[in-house]
Amino acid sequence: MDLNSLKVLLVATLLGLGVAMAQDSNVNEDYLTLDSVTVSEISLDVFNQENSELLLEKKIGQKSVMRLPGMPNKMGQVHASDAGKVIGLAKELVALGEDIYKLVQKGKPHNMTSYSPISVIPRVNGNNVDIFETENWKMPTRATYEIIYKNLFGMEVVKFRYSVIFSYGGTYQGKGAYLTATQIVPVSIMTSFGFDFSAIMKLQGIQNHGTKENPVAGAIITMEYTVETVIQASLESDSYHLTGRGGFKQL
């Protein structure tokens, strides 16, 4: 092979490497680019088979078993030590617990035993009732959801399953219907390489759906979740409305 042929071969090789590197860069960019997110509700039928109901599907950028604290015991009582601090006030109601807490940080579940879940209980003459003086709490109810993010290749790069849990029906001196043990609990989390997932829960507000003499507590809680890569970040949120009569609705 003469010198000119060698030069041609070398140039062709370098050009080929350049094209391959450019293509690889595009592949990496597509891999790290979020394309869509779906939210589904997960339930079990009478045969214990899992069913998934799609609640939301949209393109990114498009408008659109552990000990859980605060749970009532078998006697329908809640221990006062689980009440937490005051995080919201209404005329006849007070919200106790944590106004904001981490669910998942950088793809790893946070310590779920280090916080106080939200309770909405009565205020009498401007004073907060001791939650230990409430009674008749129903056992917790649960709704489970799954969030899936896909990239431009259609690959599932983030999959997060969580449950909304709360107890309702608590009374004070035979009246009212209140909320306790209100929380969002991570069930499972999967993140692919290059993707960071974080989620927090916070109280949006409380309402009285009853009367002054017979309050019915209402609360709106929101979960905010973020997926980040080196080239993109996506922030979404899901909100839930709960009532002391057991009402539950995703907003």
Q: Which two tokens stand for residue 42?
A: 């997960």
Residue with tokens 């060698």: 6
Percent of the chain with pLDDT over 90: 16
Average pLDDT over residues 139-144: 89
d(CA 165, CA 177): 17
E-strand stretches of the chain: 34-44, 50-59, 85-89, 93-97, 100-105, 108-109, 118-124, 127-128, 141-151, 156-172, 175-191, 196-208, 217-228, 233-243, 248-250
Q: What is the CA radius of gyration of the chain?
A: 25
246 Ramachandran zone, left/alpha/beta (phi>0; psi -120 to 50) = left
Residue 243 confidence (pLDDT)? 93
Confidence category of residue 241, pLDDT binned at 50, 70, 90: very high
pLDDT tens, position by position, 184-219? 888 888 899 889 999 998 888 888 888 888 889 999
d(CA 94, CA 123): 6
Average pLDDT over residues 87-108: 73
For residue 19, pLDDT over 50 is answered with no
pLDDT tens, position by position, 28-69? 777 777 777 777 777 776 567 777 877 767 776 654 434 455
Average pLDDT over residues 223-231: 90
Confidence category of residue 22, pLDDT binned at 50, 70, 90: very low
Residue with tokens 């106080």: 116
Confidence category of residue 245, pLDDT binned at 50, 70, 90: very high
d(CA 28, CA 45): 41
Residue 210 confidence (pLDDT)? 87
Residue 18 confidence (pLDDT)? 46
pTM of the model: 0.70
Cα-based distances in Å from 148 to 39, 57, 69, 71, 155: 7, 9, 28, 29, 10
Angle, alpha carbons 152-155-158 (nearest 5°): 105
Residues in CB range of 233: below 8 A, 6 or more apart = 226, 227
Q: Are strands 93-97 and 85-89 parallel, antiparallel or unpaired?
A: antiparallel
Average pLDDT over residues 129-155: 87
The rounded mean pLDDT for the chain is: 77
On the 0-12 / 13-18 / 19+ scale of CB atoms within 10 A, 206 is buried
Residue 247 confidence (pLDDT)? 92
Structural contact between residues 69 and 79, judged by C-beta atoms closer than 8 angstroms: no
